[in-house]
């Protein structure tokens, strides 16, 4: 099956809170994971939340890498999406696991692309159950 890119969703648990609450550490981890995953960093943005937590995004020539942290839970969520054949988002995720010292993790790898590029019967599907909103959205 032809594809446009690979999207890795990484859940990291048991990470040290001091790493998760360090904006410079998180942005440096994105830079290094980008290099390790053979991608090209085009730009970055990050934000330190009060009282804790960091969100950082790296804009890649191939797509993006993002990390969101919750130090109070020892948890970080990373999203690495790359297009083309050169970059390797799974290698970037493996780097992040080591860097964030995760005691356990889950990694979901999705092949991305338009339905026109493959047989719809062979395309991977992610079933999503609709949820009811507690309050109406204004």
Q: Residue 14 region, left (φ>0) first, then alpha (ψ -120 to 50), else beta?
A: left
Active site residue ranges? 63, 68, 83
Opening angle at CA 40, ends 34 and 41, nearest 5: 75
16 to 9, 104, 124: CA distances (angstroms): 20, 12, 35
> CA angle 55-60-61, nearest 5°?
165
């Amino acid at each position: 099956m032809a594809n446009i890119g690979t999207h890795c969703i990484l859940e990291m648990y048991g990470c040290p809170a001091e790493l998760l609450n360090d904006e410079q550490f998180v942005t440096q981890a994105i830079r290094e994971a980008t290099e390790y995953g053979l991608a090209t960093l085009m730009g970055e943005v990050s934000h330190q939340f009060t009282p804790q937590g960091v969100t950082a995004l790296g804009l890649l020539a191939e797509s993006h890498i993002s990390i969101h942290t919750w130090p109070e839970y020892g948890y970080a969520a990373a999203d690495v999406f790359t297009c083309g054949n050169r970059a390797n988002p799974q290698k970037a995720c493996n780097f992040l696991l080591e860097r964030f010292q995760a005691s356990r993790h889950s990694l979901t790898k999705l092949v991305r692309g338009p339905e026109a590029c493959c047989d719809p019967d062979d395309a991977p599907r992610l079933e999503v159950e609709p949820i009811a909103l507690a309050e109406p959205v204004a």
